[in-house]
């Protein structure tokens, strides 16, 4: 079941009141037909209430003072003394040029410190990245010994020797070699 909030309840009340007004109208029509003449409605629909207006503090103060004067007149008292002086609003404060200059200088100094700290962090990050990259380069430059042999450029003479070793020897050469 949905939670009933004041807004939902207010909307429901308005809906039921409109239904009630509609039903009252239908009842009045039926009674008029029954009696043969106009009939008073069973219940007069109530006028919807308006929202309260909002008043400023000064307006509420004036209303309060007027109400106090009315009650004083009814009770037969003398009017309450008027306020000593109407409160004059304080003049708007202005900052001096020197004060404004100090604030601006302090703000610039604060931002300079922030920028310097940020630059220092970026510098440290770049240094760490260079150090990390240098470490990776050293690992790439000095591969393990096996990998170095495989990757080393091979001279043509070495290729010929390997080819000679890899080719099978004639059968008569093998028998001569084993006979010795």
State residue 7's pLDDT score: 85
Model confidence pLDDT, tens digit, residues 119-154? 999 999 999 998 888 877 666 565 555 555 555 565
- Residues 73, 78, 80, 86, Cα dihedral to 10°: 100
pLDDT of residue 89: 81
Maximum Cα interatomic distance, the chain, rounded to a whole number of Å: 154
pLDDT of the residue at 95: 93
Nearest to 18 by CA among 48, 42, 51: 48
pLDDT of residue 178: 53
Residue 97 confidence (pLDDT) = 95
DSSP label of 71: H
Which pLDDT belongs to residue 137? Answer: 67
Rounded to 5°, angle at Cα 112 from 111 and 116: 115
Residue with tokens 């000095």: 142
Query: Whole-model pTM above 0.85?
Result: no
Q: Which residue has the tokens 């770049």?
A: 126
Residue-wise pLDDT for 112-126, tens only, equals: 999 999 999 999 999
- Going from the first residue of the chain to its last (180 residues), give the mean pLDDT of each consecutive group of 10, the final group possibly shorter: 79 92 92 72 65 89 94 78 68 93 97 97 93 74 55 62 60 54
């Amino acid at each position: 079941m949905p939670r009933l909030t004041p807004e939902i309840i207010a909307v429901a009340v308005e809906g039921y009141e409109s239904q009630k007004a509609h039903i009252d109208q239908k009842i009045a029509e039926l009674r008029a037909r029954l009696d043969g003449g106009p009939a008073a409605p069973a219940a007069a629909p109530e006028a919807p209430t308006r929202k309260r207006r909002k008043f400023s503090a000064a307006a509420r103060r004036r209303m309060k003072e007027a109400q106090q004067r009315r009650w004083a007149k009814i009770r037969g008292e003398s009017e309450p003394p008027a306020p000593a002086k109407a409160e004059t609003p304080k003049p708007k404060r202005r900052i001096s040029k020197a004060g404004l200059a100090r604030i601006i200088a302090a703000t610039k100094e604060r931002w300079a410190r922030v920028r310097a700290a940020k630059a220092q962090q970026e510098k440290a990050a770049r240094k760490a990245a260079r150090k990390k990259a240098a470490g990776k380069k050293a690992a790439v430059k000095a591969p393990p010994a096996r990998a170095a042999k495989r990757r080393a450029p091979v001279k043509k003479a070495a290729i010929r020797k390997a080819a000679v070793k890899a080719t099978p020897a004639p059968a008569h050469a093998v028998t001569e070699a084993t006979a010795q």
